[in-house]
Amino acid sequence: MKIGALTEVFEGEARVAITPSSAAHLQKLGHEVFVEGGAGVRSGFSDDDYRAAGVTVEPGAAALIGAVDVVAKVRQPTEEELHQMKDGQTLISFFYPGQNPELLALAKDKGVTAIAMDMVPRISRAQKMDALSSMANIAGYRSVIEAANNFGRFFTGQVTAAGKVPPAKVLVVGAGVAGLAAIGTSVSLGAQVYAFDVRPEVAEQIESMGAEFVFLDFEEQAQDGAATGGYAAPSSPEFREKQLAKFRELAPQMDVVITTALIPGRDAPKLWTRDMVEAMKPGSVIVDLAAEKGGNCELTIPDERFVTENGVTIIGYTDFPSRMGTQASELYGNNIRHFMTDLTPKKDGVIDHNMEDDVIRGATVTHDHDVTWPPPPPKIA
Ligand code: NAD
């Protein structure tokens, strides 16, 4: 089959869905690989890099879509892109079907098989295709780099001839994939790291990474936050009050706060309130990775960085993976090629879209002129 990557049209998006190295793997599966001219430039891959990897470069989006059976993208498709696709073609990209019913209807009407990388089941077998995790990992890492870049001091403690420097104190709120990456990066820079999550089962992971789990004096902590699939549930008002009281106590001591708390299908919980920001020391930094979902910090402005009157920098960027376009494209390109490996079981360039397979079924949101989302629950956990 022929598979090709489009140039991303979302403003500022630097990633690309196929890299020269992932193209080589796709070719080993028997596929012919294409890219739209310039698709990789913002992530550091020139058209010549692709040509050297045996990839055909098409002059524009229409030519690329016209040339291939499978269109690969990073961001959800635009209506225009979907309109250009034809019956029987496959699209593989982030899709967020729950938030995009109109795109889902359009893909169905066009007869496009849409594979949503955000719908890959989060089971062990599918970890190599889990683009939500690979991108969250990058976001967590980059959040610390952004924080360090905006913090006027060392992260690590030092004893120098010119004076003794204490380590920076970093609090990470939410220890999912992004939070754990932020913890690991902060620890590796030498900071003293504290972390909190409503899921107490992450305490061990946090501590094994060299950070301190912030326990609440609340007997329900062991139950609160437990929900299906390992995701968090909204907290009870009593739990939330305890949590906020703890954060109020920590706010004046912290130099950097990185918030990553999310609850599926809801706005981000507001956990870092205005009075906590006001209680922080001048020069402190907040990076709010939940900005796209409204932010965990009450003052976050999505896509902006600003300094408060009391000298606290608040960063609400929503494009952390794109800020590391090369790395993000490499990992996302790998996620895609692993998915294509499952779609090409005989490695003969022939796609077998096996709807009996939990991973393929789970990620397929439209197929054969049908909306196939939401999928039935997976048979294997
Ligand atoms: P997420 O992005 O949905 O949420 C981030 C974190 O915020 C979660 O750890 C959540 O517990 C936390 N949170 C929510 N409300 C909070 C609050 N009020 N205060 C503090 N923290 C709060 O999470 P994610 O990174 O997508 O991971 C979700 C789950 O999926 C985790 O259990 C993770 O281990 C699991 N997972 C499994 C696999 C796999 O292949 N098995 C892969 C990736 C993730």
Reported confidence tier of residue 229, pLDDT bands at 50, 70, 90: low
Q: DSSP string covering 149-181, please? A: HH-SS-SS-EEETTEEEPPPEEEEE--SHHHHH
Task: Round to whole Å and give the CA distance between 346 and 355.
Answer: 16
pLDDT tens sequence across 232-253: 888 889 999 999 999 999 999 9
231 vs 113, residue with greater confidence = 113
Q: Give Cα separations from 61 to 3, 7, 78, 351 (angstroms).
A: 13, 7, 12, 23
Residue 223 has pLDDT above 90, yes or no: no
* More confident: 159 or 231: 159
Least confident of 25-29, 215-219, 330-334: 215-219
**pLDDT at 93 (0 to 100):** 98
- Kindly give the distance from the C-alpha atom of residue 86 to the centroid of ligand 1, in angstroms, as a whole number: 37
What is the rounded distance in angstroms from the CA atom of residue 341 to the CA atom of residue 362?
16
- Alpha-helix residue ranges (DSSP H) falling in the chain: 20-28, 47-52, 61-67, 79-84, 101-110, 131-150, 177-188, 203-208, 237-250, 274-279, 325-343, 358-363
Q: Which of 89-98, 210-219, 324-333 has the lowest mean pLDDT?
A: 210-219
pLDDT of residue 365: 98
For 365, the 3-state DSSP assignment is: strand
The pLDDT score that the predictor gives to residue 218 is 72
What is the share, in percent, of the chain residues with pLDDT greater than 90? Answer: 91
Q: Whose CA is nearest to atom 28 of ligand 1?
A: 231
Residue 287: both structure tokens together: 């990076």
Q: Is the pLDDT of residue 226 over 60?
A: no
CB 260 within 8 A of CB 172: yes
Measuring from atom 33 of ligand 1, which residue has the nearest CA? 176
The helix or strand, by DSSP H or E, that contains position 32, with its residue range, turns out to be: strand 32-36
Helices 131-150 and 177-188, axial angle in degrees (round to 10):
40
Q: Which atom of ligand 1 is nearest to the CA of 269?
A: 18
Q: What's the gap in Å between 174 CA and the centre of ligand 1?
A: 7
Mean pLDDT value across residues 324-347: 98
pLDDT, tens only, 205-222: 999 999 999 988 776 555
pLDDT tens digit sequence for 305-322? 999 999 999 999 999 999
Q: Is the pLDDT of residue 381 over 90?
A: no
User: Ligand 1 centre and the CA of 264: distance in Å?
Assistant: 9
**Catalytic (active-site) positions:** 122, 127, 130, 133, 231
Cis peptide before 77, with omega less than 30 degrees from 0? no
Q: How far apart are CA 90 and CA 79, in angstroms?
A: 15
User: Ligand 1 centroid to 175 CA: how many Å?
Assistant: 7
pLDDT band of 354, cuts 50, 70, 90 = very high
Cα 307 to Cα 183: distance, rounded to the nearest angstrom: 24
With the most atoms of ligand 1 within 8 angstroms of its CB, the residue from 263, 288, 359 to mutate is 263
| Span from the CA of 173 to the centroid of ligand 1 (angstroms) | 11
Nearest CA to ligand 1 atom 42: 122
Predicted confidence at residue 235, as pLDDT, reads 84
Question: Does 380 have pLDDT greater than 60?
Answer: no
Tokens of 317: 């960027």
Tell me the pLDDT of the chain averaged across its residues: 95
Asked whether residue 225 carries a pLDDT value surpassing 70, the answer given is no
Closest Cα to atom 16 of ligand 1: 261
Mean pLDDT of 56-69: 98
Q: Helices 20-28 & 325-343, crossing angle to 10 degrees?
A: 10
Q: Is the pLDDT of residue 357 over 80?
A: yes
**What ipTM was estimated for this complex?**
0.95
Nearest to 366 by CA among 79, 83, 109, 65: 109
> How high is the pLDDT of residue 378?
62
Which residues' Cβ are closer than 6 Å to ligand 1? 122-124, 127, 130, 132-133, 136, 173-179, 196-199, 225, 230-232, 235, 260-264, 269, 271
